[in-house]
Structure 1
Amino acid sequence: MEIERKFLIADLQLVPTPSDRSLIKQAYLRADSTCAVRIRIRGDKSYLTIKGASSESGMSREEFEYEIPLSDAERMIKMCPNECIIKERLLIPYKGHTWEVDVFHGRHEGLVLAEVELSDESESVDLPLWVGREVTGDPRYYNSYLINHTI
């Protein structure tokens, strides 16, 4: 089960230096309200991920992720009906959590989102000063939505 909260970042300059950064290329074999099937290449590793529908709160959903050979991922991405999402992921440790800050490129240039994973929906989390408006549960900020739309 994936449980996360998501926030907009208005000013990337306020985000501290990351502990790690990587380039991500991802595409979707399927993306609708019941299921998303994603192919992701992150550095020299690649993954097949299947995500179920979001809960009422928008914070949680079932997720199954499997590492797959890079050559398979590259071939699968070519099967995807939409263009890839390209983003840089920054990992930012903050008060017991690791925040994932995604800086989008291409047609989503300028969009910056921060996510924090939780152990359960009631877990409290200290919000850094650099996060903006919460967009948890807003489907316009799901990557599976962004493959077909711009914000």
Structure 2
Amino acid sequence: MSDTGYGDFEFERRFFVRTPPAELLSEPDPVLIVQSYFLAQDGYAMRLRVQASGLRVALGPDADPLAVLDEVGDGFEFCAVTLKGPMNVGTRYEAEREIDVTVGIEMIRRGGLRIVKNRYSVWLGADGWVVDVFGGANAPLVIAECERSGPVTDLQIPAFCETEVTDDARFANDGLARAPYTGWAAEFARELDIRGPRFLTDFGRNDVQHRG
């Protein structure tokens, strides 16, 4: 449980990235994540996640989460089970408990809706950001996320963030587990072309950085 006074809640804003900066992807220690959703419906989710840091595993459209489990094997050093509630204006209930890595891997092997991604971390302005580069059925999707211990207001938004998807359930990881990006990427591209970029106005001032 958080000691910030907000209890088991997370605060985040998420953005679609068309082209991540090359210097970000050259980070030496990305985190490889395989997760499986045993429940993913109506914004409620029960997730198992294993992760490994300090290694590079290429994740193209043919990446299979189970094959990644086999490839990395004992390289996974962390596992947790997480319960989530629906997103509500950048706020979501989340309760997490660390569990034995071996048990978690075997449970992921045995069921759930699986996704795989590489996570890159970067400090931009006043905030830490993570950028998730998905493999398998969600390739080549890239999502950037800023998370704080309280509401994410008055945010400096990096130029590589194409449009905000905080309130778009399709881009939540549990949504991607149920309906992978490749199945509706063309539809989303048309939506974006028609309406253009958008950034939510419920969070105070948006300082959107311009592309150089």
Following superposition, the deviation at residue 42 of structure 1 comes to: 0.7
Match of 1:107 in 2: 137
Following superposition, the deviation at residue 122 of structure 1 comes to: 5.6
- CA displacement, residues 84-112 of structure 1 (integer Å, 9 cap, x when unaligned): 20100000111121111000001111100
1:87 and 2:117 aligned:
yes
Q: Counterparts of 1:11-50 in structure 2 under 5 Å?
A: 11-13=19-21, 16=24, 17-18=26-27, 20-43=29-52, 44-50=77-83
Single out whichever of 101-110 and 28-37 deviates more from structure 2: 28-37
- Whole-angstrom distance in 2 between the partners of 1:50 and 1:79: 19
1:78 and 2:86 aligned:
no
Structure number with higher helix proportion: 2
Q: CA RMSD in A?
A: 1.7
Single out whichever of 8-17 and 45-54 deviates more from structure 2: 8-17
Partners of 1:140 and 1:146 within 8 A in 2: yes
User: TM-score, normalised to structure 1's length?
Assistant: 0.89
Q: Whose RCO is larger (CA < 8 A, sep 6+)?
A: 1
SS of the residue corresponding to residue 163 of structure 2 reads: coil
* CA 1:112–1:34: 2 relative to 1, 3 Å: closer
Q: Which residue identity is paired with 1:98?
A: G
1:121 and 2:151 aligned:
yes
- Whole-angstrom distance in 2 between the partners of 1:104 and 1:133: 18
SS of the residue corresponding to residue 76 of structure 1 reads: helix
Single out whichever of 122-131 and 95-104 deviates more from structure 2: 122-131
1:66 and 2:97 aligned:
yes
Unaligned runs of 5+ in 2: 1-8, 53-76, 182-212
- Whole-angstrom distance in 1 between the partners of 2:80 and 2:150: 24
Partners of 2:43 and 2:169 within 8 A in 1: no
Partners of 1:31 and 1:144 within 8 A in 2: yes
Following superposition, the deviation at residue 119 of structure 1 comes to: 3.3
